[in-house]
Chain A
């Protein structure tokens, strides 16, 4: 029983992290039809930046802030220089971002080396809290990550469906020409979306660098996780990402905990099974 609850908690908190990782990907795709396959590399870059800031300044919050902001700026630059011109050619944009991830992967290896790092948890958050009903206690920080993911999820959903800016964004995607005619600068809106999506992945990378160790190859791992999440949940929907992260996180952790050798196969089998019945993902729309 203890093992079960422990695995479940691991799965849930990991699901929270996956949600943070994949939400930026799905936000940008859902609103702009741009798929950023350098997502894993962005995640890793944010991890390195925040680790270094925390290492130098001993201020964890500053590290997360700078990790998120610098990725926001970097992502926006990538969009402006490389992607904007081809925004309506989905496949070409996706391929260009793969090229970006190739350059980033080797660039990061050259700058930061092949070792693995993990940012230390701020001291006032580093204790464990007892879980009622069982004999073990669980790291407070991981539970906070789960709550953070839930807050971000609700915040994003409210922003997109309930605010004026959200309405402009949705309209701008559906009918760019009409929204421009209403006097709204759609190009600027797109830049802000890309900035926001990149901030989200930078934020996720900084948080993830604290909960899990990272280094060479982490970019591929997290690209895989976020692809699994959005493929299972349905690309472009926040709710889909929530469901996808829950499934990938929890089932993945049970697989790792109980059948370590087969863990990759189990997650994969789940993906195959879901796609066999819903090719567009659980909450995805058919286009």
Chain B
């Protein structure tokens, strides 16, 4: 435990010092750090579900999209202040989780994956067709960034530290939640629903709370994305984005909470490097994804465990 804790503290110190350590901070703090934190929080909402309920959801961008669009529409079209628009957006995104959860949680495995993908693609086609509300394919541009206590979060460093604070808070809360009796009950549901039912647990409410909590995280990430990208369009919730997010989760390690941030950082760096060589970095990301799925399905965080298992198996065979 102390080893894990010191690793976390070291990573935290590095994350705080990051803007002062990297070369070319104008690029890397924003396009590297803030972007990785935003994508990491979105991916975390997915890993949390996968780790605790065993459900792989492609619906997280739906919640992000709902909250992102509400921030964009209320602040650009109606000039609503952040104090109102941000809570409203997060609330709406979270509540949409109740509706989606109501139908999606009746399914499992690959059905759940398909259903949540259909939900996200449905928002994409709605955003494309409902031009009066969403301005169609062009989307909503120049979303103003928040100014709190005189600090303008459009600037690179304030935004980075705000995102870091949000990411650490959510990550710590997820860890805390997993250690409560609620979190342990969730793992029980994941591993054996029938036994948990026999023990008197009510399965659906447990799943629903976890699902709505993940929708809350995704909604917060949606607001982060609106402020980071400063625009939102149907492509923000399109097929390619959905798969991109999945790549982050799987490459980092879908059964580890930290995998979301490891994956996000890796993909951000990977894309930045590949972009220098070829404009087809999306295809390169797809190839990386397939390779990871075929060779190391537990992702980067799971590689050492995979090696250990493989070696144990080899030793066992040798005996």
A interface residues (Cβ-Cβ under 8 A, vs B): 35, 37, 40, 82, 85-86, 90-92, 94-96, 98-103, 105-107, 110, 217, 219-221, 223-224, 227-228, 230-231, 235, 260-265, 267-268, 271-272, 275-276, 279
List chain A residues, Cβ under 8 A from B239: 40, 101, 105, 219-220, 223
List chain A residues, Cβ under 8 A from B125: 221, 224, 264
Select one of B110, B115, B123, B289 contacting A91, CB under 8 A.
B110
Complex-state Cα separation, A235 to B246, whole angstroms: 23
B102 and A276 contacting across the interface, CB-CB below 8 Å? yes
Nearest B residue to A219 by beta-carbon distance? B239
A103 and B121 contacting across the interface, CB-CB below 8 Å? no
Interface segment out of the listed B29-37, B129-137, B179-187, B308-316: B129-137
Question: Given A98-B243, A101-B243, is A107 in contact with B283 using a C-beta cutoff of 8 Å?
Answer: yes
List chain B residues, Cβ under 8 A from A276: 102-103
Select one of A99, A100, A227 contacting B118, CB under 8 A.
A227
Per the 8 Å Cβ criterion, residues 50-104 of B in contact with A are 56, 99, 102-103
B287 and A268 contacting across the interface, CB-CB below 8 Å? no
B282 and A82 contacting across the interface, CB-CB below 8 Å? no
Chain B's nearest CB lies how many Å from the CB of A255?
A: 10
A231 and B114 contacting across the interface, CB-CB below 8 Å? yes
B246 and A95 contacting across the interface, CB-CB below 8 Å? yes
Chain A's nearest CB lies how many Å from the CB of B59?
A: 12
A271 and B118 contacting across the interface, CB-CB below 8 Å? yes
A95 and B250 contacting across the interface, CB-CB below 8 Å? yes
B109 and A90 contacting across the interface, CB-CB below 8 Å? yes
Nearest B residue to A267 by beta-carbon distance? B122
Nearest A residue to B285 by beta-carbon distance? A102
The contact sample of 8 A-B pairs, CB cut-off 8 A, is A92-B297, A94-B110, A99-B287, A102-B247, A106-B286, A260-B129, A275-B106, A279-B106
A105 and B297 contacting across the interface, CB-CB below 8 Å? no
B109 and A91 contacting across the interface, CB-CB below 8 Å? yes
Chain A's nearest CB lies how many Å from the CB of B150?
A: 41
B interface residues (Cβ-Cβ under 8 A, vs A): 56, 99, 102-103, 106-107, 109-111, 113-115, 117-119, 121-126, 129-133, 238-240, 243-244, 246-247, 250, 280, 282-283, 285-287, 289-290, 293-294, 297
Select one of B107, B129, B286 contacting A264, CB under 8 A.
B129
A82 and B130 contacting across the interface, CB-CB below 8 Å? no
A99 and B243 contacting across the interface, CB-CB below 8 Å? yes
A279 and B103 contacting across the interface, CB-CB below 8 Å? yes
List chain B residues, Cβ under 8 A from A91: 56, 109-110, 113
> Which secondary structure dominates where chain A touches chain B?
helix
Complex-state Cα separation, A231 to B113, whole angstroms: 11
List chain A residues, Cβ under 8 A from B250: 95
Complex-state Cα separation, A263 to B122, whole angstroms: 10
> Which secondary structure dominates where chain B touches chain A?
helix
A261 and B243 contacting across the interface, CB-CB below 8 Å? no
Complex-state Cα separation, A124 to B111, whole angstroms: 43
Complex-state Cα separation, A138 to B99, whole angstroms: 40
Nearest A residue to B105 by beta-carbon distance? A279
A220 and B118 contacting across the interface, CB-CB below 8 Å? no
Select one of B118, B124, B131 contacting A228, CB under 8 A.
B118
Q: Chain B CB within 10 Å — which of A86, A98, A107, A223 has the most?
A: A98
Complex-state Cα separation, A217 to B244, whole angstroms: 16
B286 and A102 contacting across the interface, CB-CB below 8 Å? yes
Q: Chain B CB within 10 Å — which of A92, A94, A220, A221 has the most?
A: A220
B129 and A261 contacting across the interface, CB-CB below 8 Å? yes
List the 6 shortest-distance A-B pairs measured between CB atoms, nearest first: A102-B286, A264-B126, A279-B106, A220-B239, A224-B121, A103-B286
List chain B residues, Cβ under 8 A from A217: 238
Complex-state Cα separation, A286 to B117, whole angstroms: 21
Chain A's nearest CB lies how many Å from the CB of B280?
A: 5
List chain A residues, Cβ under 8 A from B247: 99, 102
List chain B residues, Cβ under 8 A from A235: 111, 114
Complex-state Cα separation, A64 to B280, whole angstroms: 29
Beyond the given pairs A96-B290, A217-B238, A276-B103, 14 more chain A to chain B contacts, judged by CB atoms under 8 angstroms and listed by A's residue number, are A82-B290, A99-B290, A100-B290, A103-B283, A106-B283, A106-B286, A110-B280, A219-B239, A221-B125, A223-B117, A231-B111, A231-B114, A231-B118, A262-B130
Complex-state Cα separation, A219 to B111, whole angstroms: 20
List chain B residues, Cβ under 8 A from A272: 99, 102-103
Question: Given A103-B283, A106-B286, A223-B239, is A95 in contact with B121 using a C-beta cutoff of 8 Å?
Answer: no
Select one of A94, A105, A106, A220 contacting B121, CB under 8 A.
A220
Question: Given A272-B99, A279-B107, is A261 in contact with B122 using a C-beta cutoff of 8 Å?
Answer: no
Chain B's nearest CB lies how many Å from the CB of A179?
A: 24
Chain A's nearest CB lies how many Å from the CB of B113?
A: 6
Complex-state Cα separation, A263 to B130, whole angstroms: 8
Complex-state Cα separation, A276 to B102, whole angstroms: 8
Complex-state Cα separation, A96 to B292, whole angstroms: 10
B294 and A231 contacting across the interface, CB-CB below 8 Å? no
Select one of B107, B132, B293 contacting A95, CB under 8 A.
B293
A82 and B110 contacting across the interface, CB-CB below 8 Å? no
Select one of A92, A220, A264 contacting B130, CB under 8 A.
A264
